[in-house]
Chain A
Amino acid sequence: MAVGVVDAAIETHGLRRVFKTRKQVVEAVAGVDLTVRNGEIFGFLGPNGAGKTTTLRMLATLLPPSGGKATVAGCDLLTQPDRVRKLIGYVSQAGGSDYEVVGRYELTFQGRLYGMTREAAGRRAAELIEMLELEICADRTVKTYSGGQKRRLDIGLGLVHDPKLLFLDEPTTGLDPQSRARVWDEVRRMHDRGTTVFLTTHYLDEADALCDRIAIIDYGKIVAEGTPEELKRDVAGDVVTLTVAGPSQNALDSLKDQPYVREASIEDGTVRLYVDRGEVAMPAILRQLDAAGLQLLTIGLHRPSLDDVFLRKTGRSLREVAA
């Protein structure tokens, strides 16, 4: 690969995947270019059927791409899948632990698949059980686990060999809020230890709270990529709403030609200003109103949510799509 970020955990160029059914050919992933940097938590966002899981499964060596190139954990995905497998961990949506098997056995067995001796695998299993707080259920069969316990065990299976890069497919789907928060904590701890985490989600708040950078995929194509802050700013900047004593029109006239104001309007007596960066614009707005002799009654700063980003980029709300 000629160009590229030296410090990239994942780099893809034109990654494609076509599925042929009897009746039609479906392009599930239609040319994805992505760069995930080492050490970051990267969120892959999109509605169901957008191509998230297909992309993830290609990157995790489970599905051969129909076209394009990718480097994963420094190895070529197409020619060195065996080397990629040693360096990555992958936790699927379904999980991966067997209900009939004891949790500790699963962890130990997984370690042995990565070449550990029986003793080393046993020690690593004990470490993970402690780290993931699975002590109370570690020696029971998985069918007795709560949803949160099973999810933590499944994540543990992906962490057995201390991978450089961990793929998590919808890690919190179907979990109650507490279990969800614990998974988030776990992901942050991996991040603190230097592991790169690539996760898919259709929860916008999750992407916002957890991810350093995100990409939005829709109909098999990346429609946006950046930090959550950048993406939100790209869409609409920030919104400043204010009211003044006296006619609102005076305030509007005074502010609408200022360089930091992109767009201004009045709705129900409230002035709405669309600005690039609200935290920079606010002091300037205050000074301008002061200079114009207008008395400010209220002022508020609103940031667009990732849902606004999604709406703008795909034409639909993720909440509607996900439901």
Chain B
Amino acid sequence: MKLLRDVWLVFGRYFWIFTHNPAWVVIGVVQPLLYLILFAPLLKPLASTPGFPRGGAYNVFVPGLLVQLGLFGAAGVGFSLISELRIGVIERLRVTPVSRVALLLGRALRDVLTIILQSLILILLALPFGLNINVIGVVVVLALIALIGLLTASVAYAVALWTRSENSYAPIIFTSTLPILLLSGVLLPMGLAPSWLRNIALANPLSYAVDAARAVFLGHLGDPSVVKGVAIMAVLCLISIVLGARAFGRAVA
């Protein structure tokens, strides 16, 4: 009970900060729009290429875009934590009896909420372009994106707490997220890739999330890849929460 209350309190704080900064809200809405308008049209002619999955450009592209949103939307969250470390906010929170798990979860759930809202906007905007998905599909895919966001945010916060400096945090986060993203088939399906690249991608947990999202968008909710993708993300998510909460609990010099 105390944990839930603490999570709610911490979530409330970061939600308050978010909503009191209109710039973030605007960026949050504009970003998905840019992807849709500036990138998606390039895919239309590709949809007839051999190896390109069936289902039309938008049904292939939007799930990848959502996964990317989950990953990149959460990868940068450590920057705000580092500035809070510097001005003593984190230390002040850590000296109160508030749960260490809540210090992580409260703020990570705020990040997840913004990602979910962005994803919803993106899905709604893509509908007139020819995206085809039912309500259950949307719910499943949003749950998947939430897991990806929570996983990434927890890892990002842990890295921020370990490094304590933007100069170490930025290279670690960006050099690790880029190959993970490229090897997941987010931008272009891995079906187009040569076999060696496809084999490397098999080791990338995110590619299972992308497969799951694509299956949902093709209407194959019962496909084993959906369960597999969600399960892999859920397990990794739990591990990352434990790691992140420990980073909050452990003192940082």
Query: What is A's interface to B at a CB cutoff of 8 Å?
Result: 19, 57, 60-64, 82, 85-86, 88-90, 92-101, 105, 109-110, 112-115, 154, 157
Question: In the bound complex, do residue A90 and residue B95 qualify as a contact, i.e. CB atoms below 8 Å apart?
Answer: yes
Known: A88-B95, A113-B97. A98 touches B251 (CB 8 A): no
- Tell me, rounded to whole Å, the shortest Cβ–Cβ distance linking A194 to chain B: 21
Residues of A within 8 A of B84 (CB): 98
Contact B96 A85 (CB under 8 A): yes
**B38: Cβ under 8 A from any A Cβ:** no
Is the beta-carbon distance between A82 and B97 smaller than 8 angstroms? yes
Residues in chain B near residue A101, CB distance under 8 A: 16-17
Which residues of chain B are within 8 angstroms of A105 by Cβ–Cβ distance? 16
Chain A: minimal CB distance from B157 (Å): 16
B163 vs chain A, min Cβ distance (A): 14
Q: Is B86's beta carbon under 8 Å from chain A?
A: yes
Contacts of B93 in A (CB 8 A): 113
- Per-position binary interface string of chain B over residues 52-94, scored 1 when its CB falls under 8 Å from any chain A CB and 0 otherwise: 0000000000000000000000000000000010111101111
A114 touches B95 (CB 8 A): no
CB distance from B64 to the nearest CB of A (A): 34
Given A64-B251, A100-B17, A85 contacting B97 (CB threshold 8 A):
yes
Selected A-B contacts with CB under 8 Å, 25 pairs: A62-B95, A63-B253, A82-B97, A85-B95, A85-B97, A90-B91, A90-B92, A92-B88, A93-B88, A95-B88, A96-B87, A96-B92, A97-B87, A97-B89, A97-B92, A98-B17, A100-B17, A100-B21, A101-B16, A105-B16, A113-B97, A113-B98, A114-B96, A114-B97, A115-B97
Residues of chain A with a CB closer than 8 A to B88's CB: 92-96, 154
A157 CA / B94 CA spacing, docked (Å): 13
Q: Which residues of A contact B97 (CB under 8 A)?
A: 82, 85-86, 113-115
Given A19-B253, A57-B251, A64-B251, A96 contacting B91 (CB threshold 8 A): yes
Alpha-carbon separation in the docked complex, A174 to B84 (Å): 20
Contacting residues of chain B (82-117) with chain A, CB-CB under 8 angstroms: 84, 86-89, 91-98
Give the contacting residue for B9; candidates A19, A97, A113; CB below 8 A.
A113
Which B residues are CB-close (under 8 A) to A94? 86-88, 91
- Given the complex, which residues of B lie within 8 Å of A60, measured CB to CB? 95
Min CB–CB distance B75 → chain A (angstroms): 22
Bound CA–CA A86/B97 (angstroms): 6
CB distance from A272 to the nearest CB of B (A): 48
B residues at A contact (CB < 8 Å): 6, 9, 13, 16-17, 20-21, 84, 86-89, 91-98, 251, 253
**In the complex, how many angstroms separate the beta carbon of A82 from the nearest chain B beta carbon?**
6
Chain A residue at minimum C-beta to C-beta distance from B102: A113
A184 to chain B, nearest CB (A): 21
Known: A94-B88, A109-B9. A62 touches B94 (CB 8 A): yes
Q: Shortest CB–CB separation between residue A231 and chain B, in angstroms? A: 30
Q: Which of B6, B91, B96 contacts A110 (CB 8 A)?
A: B96
* A294 to B97 Cα, complex, angstroms: 70
CB of B38 to closest CB in A, whole Å:
31
Chain A residues with Cβ below 8 Å from B94 are: 61-62
Give A107 Cβ to nearest chain B Cβ, in Å.
12
CA distance A57 to B17 in the complex (A): 28
Task: Please give me the residue from chain B that is nearest to A141 by CB atom.
Answer: B20
Q: Determine the residue in chain A with the shortest Cβ distance to B91.
A: A92
6 closest Cβ pairs, A-B complex = A96-B92, A94-B88, A63-B251, A96-B88, A113-B96, A90-B95
**CB neighbours of A82 from chain B (8 A):** 97
- Closest A residue to B16 by beta carbon equals A105
Q: What residue of chain B has the Cβ atom nearest to residue A64's Cβ?
A: B251
The reply to whether B96 and A62 contact each other, CB–CB distance below 8 Å, is: no
With CB as the reference atom, state the residue of chain A lying closest to B253. Answer: A19
Given contacts A63-B251, A82-B97, A94-B88, 6 further A-B pairs with CB under 8 A are: A61-B95, A62-B91, A62-B95, A88-B95, A94-B91, A97-B89
Task: Name the A residues within 8 Å of B91 (CB-CB).
Answer: 62, 90, 92, 94, 96
| Residue ID in chain A nearest B93 by CB atoms | A113
Chain B residues whose CB sits within 8 angstroms of the CB of A19 once the complex forms: 253
